[in-house]
Amino acid sequence: MELVPAIDIIEGKCVRLTKGDYDTKKVYGDPLEMAQQFEDLGMRRLHVVDLDGAKSKHVVNIAALKAITTHTNLVVDFGGGVKTDEDLVMAYEAGAAMVTVGSIAITDPDRYLGWLQKYGADKLILGADVRNGMVSINGWKEDSDVRLEDFLLRYMAAGTKNVLCTEISRDGTLEGPAIELYKSIMARYPECYLIASGGVGSTEDILALEAAGIPAVVFGKAYYEGKISLSPALLKRDGRKSKIVNCKLSNSKLTSC
């Protein structure tokens, strides 16, 4: 299983929310310092979310992304507010190796499919944020009328490989991930590189996801709150199976995979 720490950003600060509620914001410091801490602990991947961007419907915290990719060798995937061609290019130019896209796949499917064709499946992650079985958009402020099953069916058939699925009701609660949901996705799409997100509150949760055959997991609050430790024993379980972690970086730019 690949272990992917997360840094969520509001107003240039590393934060965590509970169930996507901005009123529950808790600040944990500087994003670059946190990213460097993860790198020092032996992590190679990082998931960065621009929460201001998700709420504003355009990328906001591009400077924080640039600082992380410039001053670390972490392979960063970035999401939040990517709605236009300019947003996407801006993220790549700021050093993101992959970009997570969710809302646009609901509101403008042709644009997402165009990006998939132009940039390739290895450069995009489909964000599938789900609440009560329906895909949520725009920083989880709105619920679409699209069922998760239909959402995945359409875009997996179109060539999507990487899916980040967040069960919103679990996110930030530390109450355990939605393992049955992730197992059902893997059963239907065994070729999917599924990144589970939401609810991780202990090392046991990570091991349970690994036992269920989930390829990767995003975690954040559990680490910040001292619920899990990135010990050598846990890091040895990080299989780093995804192609992106083997990409070569030059001056924080993606050069080859």
CATH 3.20.20.70 is held by the domain 2-246: yes
Is residue 107 packed enough to be buried (19+ CB in 10 Å), middle (13-18) or exposed (0-12)?
Answer: middle
Query: In which residue are the tokens 């990570």 written?
Result: 206
Please calculate the CA angle 228-232-237 and round it to the nearest 5 degrees.
80
Tokens of residue 109, six digits: 């499917």
pLDDT digits (tens, 9 = 90+) for 224-257: 999 998 876 677 667 554 333 333 333 333 333 3
Q: Where are the domains of the chain?
A: 2-246
pLDDT digits (tens, 9 = 90+) for 32-73: 999 999 999 999 999 999 999 998 889 999 999 999 999 999
Close Cβ partners of 35 (under 8 Å, ≥ 6 residues apart): 7, 46, 68, 71, 72, 74
- Rounded Cα distance, 10 and 132, in Å: 26
Close Cβ partners of 186 (under 8 Å, ≥ 6 residues apart): 192, 194, 212, 213, 214
**Minimum mean pLDDT among 1-5, 96-100, 186-190, 236-240: which range?**
236-240
pLDDT digits (tens, 9 = 90+) for 183-231: 999 999 999 999 999 999 999 999 999 999 999 999 999 999 999 988 7
Give me the residues paired with residue 128 across strands.
165
Query: In which residue are the tokens 């890091």 written?
Result: 235
Q: Which residues are catalytic?
A: 8, 129
Three-state DSSP at 157 gives helix
